Structure 1
């Protein structure tokens, strides 16, 4: 099997859906899309997508089913093109903490950074090399 994208969907656990929504809308300059599933007592705020076929994800609150974590579990890398630093510069003012500052992975793979969000989740950022992110 060959994957077009290694990730098809991700869910970021939150303790306070409104606080988390404000945090992510602030750092990415986006408007998240509410989607609540009352039958499952699940509240979601989805990241906007250019195409329904793209990789998507959401902030999720469902009581004890989701638990934010600063030091365990999967590490999700969110797209920070064209430059990780543009996002990192907004983290602390929005209520988060920078854990790993902008760091070059390699000249051909670009840069990464890691932060704790408003809920205490460890989340990573990735941006392609400048010449690749402009394509």
Structure 2
């Protein structure tokens, strides 16, 4: 059977600068913004050698719309979900599901709403 992995993700935003500030605060990283004539993207830092998928915030008035209740759910891997969750409220977001164990073998997860109204998840082994 052929395996399928995520190769890229895009998180729709309404206010790119606000969204960049939120994600930079929560993940303590720098996002690079690029305006491509109506399509604005801000790329998350990505190290291909670590595995996983790269992705970006994306704004286009006509084609991208944040979704609070439906649509794909992006999981960001982190060392400990609790560390990022502590930053969510101060950065303008809202915790939806606090850190909880999926199973002892798998690890932990949490879900939050970002400043744009997207439902985003966290995953950690500890």
Q: TM-score range by the shorter chain?
A: over 0.9
> Are residue 89 (structure 1) and residue 90 (structure 2) matched?
no
Aligned residue for 1:36? 35
TM-score normalised per structure 2: 0.93
Aligned residue for 1:27? 26
Aligned residues: 124
| Worse-superposed segment, 19-28 or 63-72 | 63-72
Please show how residues 1-135 of structure 1 align to structure 2 within 5 Å. Answer: 1-3=2-4, 6-38=5-37, 41-51=38-48, 55-80=53-78, 82-128=79-125, 130=126
| Worse-superposed segment, 52-61 or 118-127 | 52-61
CA contact (8 A) 2:109 2:121 kept: yes
- Cα drift, residue 34 of structure 1: 1.6
CA contact (8 A) 2:6 2:52 kept: no
TM-score normalised per structure 1: 0.87
- Cα drift, residue 54 of structure 1: 5.2
Structure 2 segments unaligned to the other structure (5+ residues) = none
Structure 1 segments unaligned to the other structure (5+ residues) = 131-135
Moved over 3 A (4+): none
- Cα drift, residue 51 of structure 1: 2.7
Instruction: Provide the aligned C-alpha RMSD in A.
Output: 1.4
Q: Distance in 1 between matches of 2:52 and 2:103?
A: 26
